[in-house]
Amino acid sequence: MVELSAWLLRHTPVRPLVVAVPGGTGARLAVERAVRERGWRPARGPAEANVLVVAGAAGPDLEPHLSRVYDAVPAPRERVDVAGVSAADPQLDAAATALRDLSRQRERLPATRGTVTAPQAIRSLRLGPVAPLWPAGLTVHAVVRDGLLADVSTEVAGEPAGSFWTADDTRARALDAAARLLAVAGWPDAAQTAAYLRDTALAGTFGAEQAPSLRRWARRVRGSPALRRLLTGVGGVPPGPSVPRSLTGDARRRLHRWVTVAAGDGTSRPARDEATPWALAALPGLLRASPPERAGLVVASLDPDADALVGTHAG
């Protein structure tokens, strides 16, 4: 029996649940690259995961939230904190080794048994501040009434970090935003392609070899009937004198704008320290009276850079 358990552990596929904390954008990008290069399939939630990967250095205010996420990961499981870019590869390899270590997992098993609670009607809801494909440190508080969000408010927790992105990262920034929205929308293949192209752009190696892949990806995303049905009308933002032009339209329009920027056919969105304050202030109104399952699409389509606006509360 021990031999069978050891064999099963050795052949357990690694399913990382990647969550970013404030200041962890660079670490998140490094982790996502390393995960892709290893052929691991990222988990969409704790129930699918066996490794919790925390990208960035988590402060004490976020540790209780991270502990709750980790407690929801079934055994066998591991947690790894990747504080910086250079730590991604060795830390992920160490986590995979520990995950497949029978002695380690058996010693920790009593602490990994969760408690099953009876289902109950959802009344209150908190999204964030640590979750996959979610802005680092952002929390959305709401009440669910008749299946729709109400009493929505937002806050951003964590220590000031400053935006990871610079003015030279136009293409990479657009591809990163598109990759996250496509992943939330349930199209992992297109999301992975966007992430690969993003990484080549950040590394300064984007060139003629990647151009055909970018054009094919752009055509698929722009022409997808499934995305049209899913994103049309989601998080609609009418134009106005105080509205950043990069955020107008619905989720599909914003995605197409990122595709255009990535393809080099348009201009970049305004600096995120300009767009993010408006997005966070508008988010409660955009989420109000919408179904809870749509919240992730709305947030991803606005792509707020919470690192640039730590400590802000919006009602």
Please report which residue ranges of the chain form alpha helices under DSSP H: 2-10, 25-37, 63-71, 88-99, 102-108, 170-184, 188-202, 211-223, 225-231, 251-262, 272-287, 295-302
Question: Which band of pLDDT confidence, cut at 50, 70 and 90, is reported for residue 25?
Answer: very high
Average pLDDT, the chain: 89
More confident residue, 158 or 112: 158
* Interacting residues of 107 by C-beta distance below 8 A, sequence separation 6+: none
Give the CA angle between residues 199, 140, 156 to the nearest 5°. Answer: 65
Instruction: Enter the DSSP assignment of 168.
Output: G
The stretch 44-57 carries a mean pLDDT of 96
The stretch 107-135 carries a mean pLDDT of 68
pLDDT at residue 229, rounded to an integer = 98
* Interacting residues of 234 by C-beta distance below 8 A, sequence separation 6+: 250, 251, 252, 294, 297, 298, 301
Taking only Cα atoms into account, the Rg of the chain, rounded to an integer number of angstroms, comes to 20
pLDDT at residue 116, rounded to an integer = 39
pLDDT at residue 3, rounded to an integer = 67
Three-state DSSP state, 14: coil
The predicted-structure confidence for 226-248, as pLDDT tens digits, reads as follows 999 999 999 999 999 999 999 99
Per cent of the chain over pLDDT 70 is 86
Question: Which band of pLDDT confidence, cut at 50, 70 and 90, is reported for residue 265?
Answer: low
The stretch 143-158 carries a mean pLDDT of 92
